[in-house]
Amino acid sequence: MTLARIVLHAAYLRAPGLLPPLRWEGGFALGAFGAGALWAVPPMLFFPEGDPLLRNADVAMYRDKQQGRNACLFYSGSQG
C-alpha cells in the first residue's frame, strides 16, 4: 500500500495539473485508508478477543490509571 502511495505522489509531482485537485485528494485519501486498514487487520487476526495477552495488558493499563498514571507496572498473576 505504501508503494502505491509513493507512486501516486510521484505522479502528482510530475504532472499536478493532469487531474483535478479533488481527484488527487481522493487517491491520497484512499491510500491513507488502505494503509490504516492494513495496520489494523493483523492485530485482530493474531490477538483475538479474550486473548490472555490483551487481558493482561488491559489489567496493567487500568492499574496504572488507578495509581495516578505515568507509572511502570509489570503484570503478575495476582493482578488478574
Record the pTM. Answer: 0.45
Q: How far apart are CA 9 and CA 15, in angstroms?
A: 10
Give residue-wise pLDDT tens across range 15-49.
878 888 888 888 888 888 888 888 888 877 887 77
Asked whether 31 and 1 are in contact (CB, 8 A), the reply is: yes
Q: How far is residue 61's CA from residue 46's CA, in Å, rounded to a whole number? A: 20
Q: What per-residue confidence (pLDDT) applies to 79?
A: 53
pLDDT given for residue 75 in this prediction: 63
